[in-house]
Amino acid sequence: MTTAIKPITANEPPHREPADSLAVPAHLPVSSLSHSSLSLFWRCPERWRRRYVERVREPSGGPALLGRALGAALTAHFAARIAGQALSLRDTDDLYLAEFDDGAPTALFKERDPVTDLRRQGRQALVAYLNRVAPSVRPTAVERRVELRFGGAEWSVLGYLDVEEADSVVDIKLRGRHVSQAEADHSAQASLYLLARALEGRAARRFAFHSLRRGKRGADIAVVSTERSSAQLAAFERRVAQTAREIAGCQESGDWPYAAPEGWWCAGGPMGCPHFRTCPGGTGGAKDPGEVVAMPERGRRQSLSRAA
């Protein structure tokens, strides 16, 4: 069925002519997609299968915990402001520390990012953001859930918007490096959330990454904004539909492609894929680096041979 994606909660979504190539399968092996799951499938369908179909849990690292703790504290800060109240810096800091300390025992910390350093860097970033950027934000909603669905589909596309303003959507990122302009301009998250606002009839002019860079010398902050034209939003809508068809095809055939071998994410080590040693697209569980790994049969039974 070819139909445009619509917000599930909208009573009367704005009328739009369906974009081309919006046919989607009624069923997927998951109940919903998100910007992060879409991005993972585009990088490596096999890793997507392991995470979302086989439900293989991947270890949560220290930086991920740091982001969650900061996000929880800032959500409380902006929610209080929307309610006409004020959350003191000390109270916000206490919320951050409680969230971080609660998750620290089960998180994996790398040698270069020990728990004490990350905890301190998060506090520095929180204070810097509250003093330098947060006062200029005019929040109308925090952590709002949006859900979109193609007609005839029993799966949806989910998102949670960090902070909304009247004419913009804000997402707060805490990383070891800043979000670049190129990353922002190609961000699936920005495209999805701006599409959701447009479909609700409350189009936002821009998506702003509030990029917090942590480090031993303290926190640095940059605001990186990006916009999407109507044509770009329509193209993203088509790409979501195309990806859904690809996922359904992989599920039906059992053939899930591996990541491109030149991708930095298809590697072992702390920055690589946790499945690299067991995945045939990586070392495939080889006993030693020189062992040849037998690849599973896929498609035609004939093996590759030299052309005459």
Q: How far is CA 206 from CA 191, 199, 224, in A?
A: 10, 15, 10
In a domain, 111, yes or no: yes
Count the domains in the chain. Answer: 1
What's the rounded Cα separation, in Å, for the pair 8 and 35?
17
Section 103-126 average pLDDT: 88
In a domain, 246, yes or no: no
In a domain, 17, yes or no: no
Chain segment 167-207, per-residue pLDDT in tens? 999 999 999 899 999 999 999 999 999 999 999 999 999 99
In a domain, 191, yes or no: no
Query: Which residues form the domain of 132?
Result: 62-136
What integer pLDDT is reported at residue 296 of this predicted model? 47
What integer pLDDT is reported at residue 58 of this predicted model? 84
Section 252-274 average pLDDT: 87
Best-predicted range by mean pLDDT among 79-88, 212-221, 267-276, 286-295?
Answer: 79-88
What's the rounded Cα separation, in Å, for the pair 302 and 289?
26
In a domain, 182, yes or no: no
Tally of CA atoms within 13 A in the half-sphere of 140 that contains its CB: 8
In a domain, 49, yes or no: no
Instruction: Name the residue with higher pLDDT: 111 or 249.
Output: 249
* CB-based burial label for 228 (10 Å; 0-12, 13-18, 19+): buried
In a domain, 67, yes or no: yes
Strand partners, 207: 169, 226
254: left (phi over 0), alpha (psi -120 to 50) or beta: left
